[in-house]
Amino acid sequence: MSILRSTWTITKRELAAYFASPVAYVFTCFFLLLSASFTFLLGGFFPRNEASLAAFFLWHPWLYMFLVPAVGMRLWSEERRLGTLELLLTMPINTSHAVLGKFLAGWLFLGFALVLTFPMVITVAALGDPDGGVIACGYIGSFLMSGAFLAISSMTSSMTRNQVISFILSVVICFLLILAGWSPVTSVLVKLYESVWFLRLLVAALVVFLSAVVLAVLRVTSVLAGSRRVSLAWWGCTAVLTLVGLFWDRIGFLGKGAIRGGVELLAASLVDFAVKVSVMGHFDAMQRGVVDLRDLLYFLTVMVFALFTTGVMLKTRRA
């Protein structure tokens, strides 16, 4: 069976399931009410006195952060809990079709809720003379962002049969993705990386991270196949090295010259990276009407990555 057919069959079923449950209506009402009241009460729609939907889109990352995981949490957790996962995955379809089909259903649903905000467009159009292109671009950006968040929810939902855990996990991930590029946070980050404690923690974290990676690789290549004593000794060494890392700048040769420069560069690029992986920058550009291929690619990358992980989770953690 072609990928389109099987995917669409699953999408149809899933969409029907959304509209059969009260979650759909609750979500739509919440989304419309919150987005309207935030726009007019908190977003300063009227004081801005401009014919744009900036006050409206401003709140979308924050709304989506809670609402999208609420839509996505059931995607796979529910299948696991009901045991229908067993039915679905023993059907003659690719796991990727199922992942895609379910994701599309959720995304179409989110798109439906977004389309229902059209009175906003009418309002600005009635009050002034807005730029249609900018508004369309904002809507596309918002839709893409909801897709990225939904893919993340799909990923967390594939990991557990508990919807609540799935919800909390994906809210946390979405929150981090927002925070990393939210201007108050980035300005703090930039200040932070000038402080010596930030550099110290960074080095310590790096030590722990590298140690864990090396241990994992050794486990996989079964050099240290699951021996408890070896891994205890390993973590002991890591703890000592972490302490050394915490005070690296006090240790003569480490705290100077090239090494110091390297650590500072690392800190700077980390902050830079955090800003780049955040949805904020990308969404902000789109809602201001700036069309950049990189922003589109960013959202697509997040979706592909999260959906791919969903597939891997479903293949490896079936029980």
Partner 1 sequence: MEAYGEAMIEAQHISKWFGPTLAVDDVSLKVERGEVQGFLGPNGAGKSTTMRMITGFLPLSAGSVTIGGHDIEEDPIAAKSLVGYLPENAPAYPEMSVEGFLRFAAEIRGLRGRQVTEAVERAIRTCFLERVRYQSIDTLSKGYLHRSCFAQAILHDPPVLVMDEPTDGLDPNQKHEVRELIKEMGKTKAIIVSTHILEEVEAICTGVVIIDRGRLVFRGTPAELKARSALAGAVSCRVFGPSAEELMASLRGVSGGGAPEVLASSNGGVAVRVPPAAEGGDGLARRVCRLFVEKGWEFDELHTEGGRLDEVFRAVTLPDTVQENGA
Task: List interacting residues with partner 1 (CB under 8 A).
Answer: 1, 5-6, 9-10, 13, 16-17, 20-21, 82-84, 86-87, 89-94, 315-316, 318-319
Ramachandran region, residue 257 (left: φ > 0; alpha: ψ -120 to 50; beta: rest): left
CA 38 distance to own-chain centroid: 22
Shortest distance, position 91 Cβ to partner 1, whole Å? 5
Residue 13's CB is within 10 A of a number of other CB atoms, namely 13
Shortest distance, position 233 Cβ to partner 1, whole Å? 22
Q: Give, as one character, the DSSP assignment of residue 248.
A: G
- Cβ–Cβ < 8 Å for 275, 281: yes
Please name the residues in contact with 107: beta carbons below 8 A apart, sequence gap of 6 or more: 146, 147, 150
Nearer to partner 1, 99 or 178 (CB): 99
No. of helices (H) and no. of strands (E), the chain? 17, 0
Shortest distance, position 16 Cβ to partner 1, whole Å? 7
Shortest distance, position 319 Cβ to partner 1, whole Å? 7
Nearer to partner 1, 79 or 295 (CB): 79
Shortest distance, position 164 Cβ to partner 1, whole Å? 19
Token pair of 169 as six digits: 């996990």
What contacts 24+ positions apart, CB below 8 Å, involve 184-188? 186/271, 186/274, 186/275
Shortest distance, position 5 Cβ to partner 1, whole Å? 8
- Cβ–Cβ < 8 Å for 162, 77: yes
Nearer to partner 1, 32 or 224 (CB): 224
Nearer to partner 1, 126 or 319 (CB): 319
Nearer to partner 1, 10 or 267 (CB): 10
Nearer to partner 1, 20 or 41 (CB): 20
Shortest distance, position 96 Cβ to partner 1, whole Å? 12
Burial 209-227 (b: 16+ CB within 10 A, else e): eebeeebeeeeeeeebeee
Nearer to partner 1, 91 or 212 (CB): 91
Distance CA 245, CA 181 (A): 27
